[in-house]
Structure 1
Amino acid sequence: MSLLHVRYIGSLDQGTSSTRFMIFDHGGKVVGQHQVEHRQILPQAGWVEHDANEIWERTQESIVGALKQADILGSDLAGIGITNQRETTVVWDVTTGEPLSNAIVWQDTRSTEFLAGLSQDEQTTIRFKTGLTIAPYFAGSKMNWLLTNVPAARGVN
């Protein structure tokens, strides 16, 4: 294979405290990497949020930084693998693509009271249909909180 046809693989790790992009050559060697931290927003006890626009900006910064370090173009990437921060939940405006609120991070426990109020039958149904335990970690209770507390998430302006 000529050097003109060498392709690379990108790896995007969008984590809880930072976003990192790494570029690997065909032998698995890291040829470029860049990591950028983002803010943790803690509006009250048990709440953990991220600014979704900031996450997007940090993602772009990390990709550009790694491409520069590797001295390649985005078109030199054969593909990109993506990991994310688990059950962090955000809703966007269907028209503008803008987030309707901060993202609720996987560590956030604001839905604990809602979950404690579920009847045994409701808990059993959730476990049966999803295979998940009843915990504020999962996105369903976060989405319930967003739909209850962010009018725009329900389509109300």
Structure 2
Amino acid sequence: MSKNTGLNAIEMQYLRHSLSLSQAQVADLTKLTEAEVSAWETGEQEAPGLAQKKLLDLDDTIEMQVLNTTDGIEELFKKEPKRRLAFVVYPTQALYNQYNPEFLSSLPLTELYNTAAWRIKKECKLVLEVDVSLVALDVESYKAFREQQGLSESRESRAKWAATQL
């Protein structure tokens, strides 16, 4: 009997899909080749344990962000009951890097951040009965909003801008 408790081919494929990553992105994150990632997903070879761990750790990080964010929203709504929120998502890696350097060590790709936002949206709807809209950052509109409102660059400013986009 095998002691291998790793993920099988279909589990690796669905884990990648659940993270919204391409095979090329997984290859880059795991420091392996795209051909190796493809081979994992077809069952031709087993995914290395470190690669599995890296992807599962990313999924865990996203889940922790979902839990922490929804807990924070729940606390906020005890004080001021709102039922609509907007979250900024990032249409390109360059924008994500520019506006979120603090997340790059835990969620290095915009797809991972945006996946977290999507999961938060779903969790808020199901558990808190709150509608969350995902708003793609439009840099020019955001800059104009900041100038008009006299705001500095911050996550709070981006959140205020996103709320005006609803």
Q: Tell me, yes or no, whether TM beats 0.5.
A: no
Q: Which has the higher strand share?
A: 1
Provide the TM-score with structure 1 as the length reference.
0.35
Provide the TM-score with structure 2 as the length reference.
0.33
